[in-house]
Amino acid sequence: MPTEPPFDSVPPPPEPPVDEAADRGRGPNLMETVSTLNPETAPQVPDVEASLTRVYAGLHGRVVADAAAVLDQVEKQRWIFAFLSAENAAAALNILEMLQLDVANTLGGRLDLLELPRVAGRSIAARSRAAQIVQLINTEDVPSDPMRTFLGLVEELKRHRALLATSDALTHLREGASLEEIQEVIDAIPTLSETTHDETDPVWHFAKGHEVREALDPGPAYRLSSGYATLDRAMSVDEDEPLGAFAPGEFHVIVAPTGNGKSAFGRRLLVSLGEDLIYGWGKRHATVAMWITEESAAIVRRAAELNKGQPFHHLADNIAISNPKSSRRQMAGMFYDLIAYAATQAEKTGLPITEFAPAAFLVDYIGEVYEPGENPDTDGLTRTASLLRGGIAQCDLDAVEFYTGLSYEEHTGSPKPDGLGPHKVAVIAFGQFRKIGDIYRPHSRNTNIEDFTRVINGEPAWEPRAGDQAIPHKQEIRGSGVLANHATSILLLHRSRVDDNSIQVRADGRTHVDDDRARILFLKTRNASKMPFVPLRFDSQIEGPRGQFYDYLAEKAIEDGRISPGHTFKRTGDPILPERPKAAPLAHVSY
């Protein structure tokens, strides 16, 4: 990487004859302006390695949330690593991952970097960088505001990058390149007015959050329904936004103890997203993808009722399900295949590639996606969560390559397609707990009722019964710190009774579980929630031996005639979708 603009390496152009009449009114001549620049005083490349080391040292003693915000910014601006040698870039990534792990596993208080516990096993360059961080901390040569220092570094690098690109454009001009080639180079000059947005800033969330998001990301704003109307309403914060639990670009995590119905919830979510995209929003070519690590794709399709003769077979062509795999590189390969398919269809039909690109991506489950030699609950989970949030959710093919080492070109044999632009993907991953909690013993002195119900205004939100299972704590999630730092929201599926729950045949001729009490609890909501929890039922399906969650409040409202269920609701347990604006049938026709 050159350290200064190579103006002196380009011979000056021959002086053209002066045409005073033609020049009149043109303003300053660009060549004359640039010729006054002195290459010796042109801005030098900032020392990225030293600057990052100072920023990291400045995180010592910071509140964990503040440190996490800085590391999030470093991750978002990963392009700055291109200003480092290959060895130093690898070391910088090592240090970033190490600090992210420390932040993820520090559940409260302040960050202590004097003894970095995960240095062992890292490269020599990474260990050297870690020692430099500790040395700066000990000498107190640290920035008072690490975030400001880092954003200042980003600004300097943006200016330098723009300067190099401008120099390249001038070289093409001097060498007589075609107008088309010159225009391509000019279009590649970075925009300096681009700003870095900190999504952890409270202003982002509370001061007309939807207007801020629309201003930064132009294009149609839409949310996606979970198929559970009560959950959609609980997670739709802004009155001006469409109803829906999830939005493109967000990364949600749904957790539950083993045997509580995560897979059943995921299967219903799969078809709900498809119904809402295709028949609600009119995105008839959109794809919903699901990455699974345990069951086969055939089992999932049957359980989701997507096979021929089943209720949701009409969605089959829009839903892609992997066979069980556990590698991030394989996950990247599936995502690249979906993008390559979208590019092919766009070329065939003349429609935008975004019409065919994946709109939602489900992972069941995130704790089983890692590479050999990684710890699934620490470094493996950190890299997988970063891939899902920073790569797939943002539909950023460069970021997917960054987190997996697999490029789009290597996997598909084709260059990256144009036209993805601001397209984003709603990502929902499922996680597990390390252990299952105790059961409710009402007469035990060691029983705390708040472990078994939510207490609101001094009263239990629901009355626990003897034998009910406890509500797991967020810290008991596998990789809780990592997920808390990365996820837009963390939702807990909770059933009051899983074991010792008898099955009975009732008057309707169907089998039912004796105790169907269930709910969704919010362990984290970045965008807030209108309800402390969402009441559900968990019971057997109308057809087949499997169980599923039912939206208790919404189905009662349908029964009472207070809400209209929409076209998808034909029987209890079917998705209950919000009404969507009608799409213009000729929206993509050009004349």
- Residue 299 CB neighbours (<10 A): 15
Query: What are the Cα distances from residue 372, in Å, to 195, 200, 402?
Result: 38, 33, 18
pLDDT in tens, the chain (591 residues): 333 333 333 334 344 444 443 333 333 333 333 344 444 444 567 788 889 999 999 998 888 778 888 888 888 888 888 888 878 888 888 888 888 877 776 655 678 887 665 555 567 777 888 888 888 888 877 888 888 889 888 888 887 777 776 776 677 677 777 777 666 666 655 554 443 333 333 322 222 233 333 333 433 378 999 999 999 999 987 777 889 999 999 999 999 988 888 999 999 999 999 999 999 999 999 999 999 998 899 999 999 999 999 999 999 999 999 998 999 999 999 999 999 999 999 999 999 999 999 999 999 989 999 999 988 888 889 899 999 998 999 999 999 999 999 999 999 999 999 999 889 999 999 999 877 778 889 888 888 999 999 988 889 999 999 999 999 988 889 888 888 888 999 999 999 998 877 777 777 777 788 889 999 999 988 666 778 899 999 998 877 667 899 998 999 999 999 988 888 999 999 999 999 987 655 554 444
Separation CA 425–CA 283 (nearest Å): 14
| DSSP secondary structure code for residue 313 in this structure | G
Q: Could you tell me which of 494, 455, 427, 91 has the C-alpha nearest to residue 262?
A: 494
Separation CA 227–CA 240 (nearest Å): 20
The two counts, helices (H) then strands (E), for the chain are: 19, 13
Question: What are the helix (H) ranges across 27-63?
Answer: 30-35, 48-57
**504 — phi, psi (to 5°)?**
-130, 150
Beta-bridged to residue 512, according to DSSP, are 504
Q: What is the pLDDT of residue 108?
A: 59
Residue 455: which H helix or E strand, with range?
Answer: strand 455-456
Determine the distance from the C-alpha atom of residue 491 to the mean position of all C-alpha atoms in its chain, rounded to a whole number. Answer: 15
**460 — phi, psi (to 5°)?**
-65, 135
Beta-bridged to residue 292, according to DSSP, are 364
Separation CA 282–CA 235 (nearest Å): 22
Q: Could you tell me which of 58, 66, 62 has the C-alpha nearest to residue 140?
A: 58
Beta-bridged to residue 251, according to DSSP, are 427
For residues 237 and 575, the answer to whether their CB atoms sit within 8 Å is: no
Domains recognised in the chain with CATH numbers: 1-200 (no CATH), 202-436+472-559 (3.40.50.300)
The dihedral through the CA atoms of 160, 165, 170, 172 has a sign that is positive
Q: What is the pLDDT of residue 427?
A: 98
- Residue 435 CB neighbours (<10 A): 10
Q: 517 burial class (0-12, 13-18, 19+ CB within 10 angstroms)?
A: buried
For residues 88 and 50, the answer to whether their CB atoms sit within 8 Å is: no
Task: Name the amino acid, one letter, at 441.
Answer: R
536 SS3 class: strand
Separation CA 289–CA 282 (nearest Å): 18
Task: Name the amino acid, one letter, at 296.
Answer: S
Residue 63: which H helix or E strand, with range?
Answer: none
Report the residue count for the chain: 591
Model-level pTM greater than 0.95? no
